[in-house]
Structures are given as structure tokens and as C-alpha cells.
Amino acid sequence: MTDNFEGKSCVACQRGAPPATDDQLKAFLDQHPDWSLVDADSVPKLQRVYTTKNFVQALALTNAIGEMAEAESHHPALTTEWGTLTVQWWTHKIKGIHENDLIAAAKSDRIAEACLGD
């Protein structure tokens, strides 16, 4: 199953919305193998650590992903450090991973490619 997650837009998510299906998660992880599923505080999340050359580059990537998140009205946890940016996507309202998280994570990769030249 191939899905063009980065070509989609996030939609408003309400409590009780269905989480991403196993097929959607598999398709996403097959296309974006640098992302992983993590459990944080008993909530499943998508996580990726981007490696940068320095703090300035990490901060620029943080801001670029933050701008996309604001435009999509869907916001991740961003941890910016010297040489890395850790991004976690999940949907607070459903305490899990929604299709919006897959879309936003795919868009994060596209932004990182542009910012980091990967």
C-alpha cells in the first residue's frame, strides 16, 4: 500500500476520532523508515531524531517544522539541541496516532530535506 501522506492536509480531529489503522502505520513506516513508534506516558507517538550540523541548523529546522505545524493547526513536541531535533507527533484528543500525525510527519521529512539538504 502506497500513500502520499505529504500530499494531504490535516483535518480537524474530534475526541473519539478513529486512530490510524495498522495498514496506514505500516505504509507510513515503509515509506519513512527513519520514524519509529514510541510509547511515552502510555501514549503511542511517532518519533524521529534529525541530525544537524549545529544548533543554528537545528533551530532553523525547528522553526520550519513549527511553521508547517501552525499552518496545519496540528502541533508536535519539538526538542531542539545542539546537533539534533527530536520530533514527536501524536493527537492529544485521541491519545494516539491519527492520520494527521502521518501527514505531518511526512511533511516534516520534506521540510528536513529542504533545510538539511538530505
Instruction: Taking residues 98-109, report their average pLDDT.
Output: 95
| CATH code of 102's domain | 3.30.1360.20
- Top-confidence residue, 117 or 29: 29
How much is the pLDDT for 41?
86
**Is residue 109 domain-resident?**
yes
**Is residue 1 domain-resident?**
no
Q: Which domain holds residue 53?
A: 19-116
**Is residue 3 domain-resident?**
no
**Is residue 2 domain-resident?**
no
**DSSP assignment, residue 7?**
G
**Selection from 86, 114, 85, 89 nearest residue 101 by Cα:** 89
**Is residue 8 domain-resident?**
no
**Is residue 75 domain-resident?**
yes
Cα-only R_g, the chain? 14
Q: CA dist 32 to 12, 17, 25, 27, Å? A: 24, 24, 10, 9
How much is the pLDDT for 91?
93
How much is the pLDDT for 3?
61
Number of other residues whose CB lies within 10 A of the CB of residue 42: 6
**Is residue 35 domain-resident?**
yes
Q: Where does the pLDDT of residue 17 fall: very low under 50, low under 70, confident under 90, or very high at 90 and above? A: confident
**Does the structure show a pLDDT above 90 at 18?**
no
Output the average pLDDT for the chain.
89
Domain total in the chain: 1
**Is residue 12 domain-resident?**
no
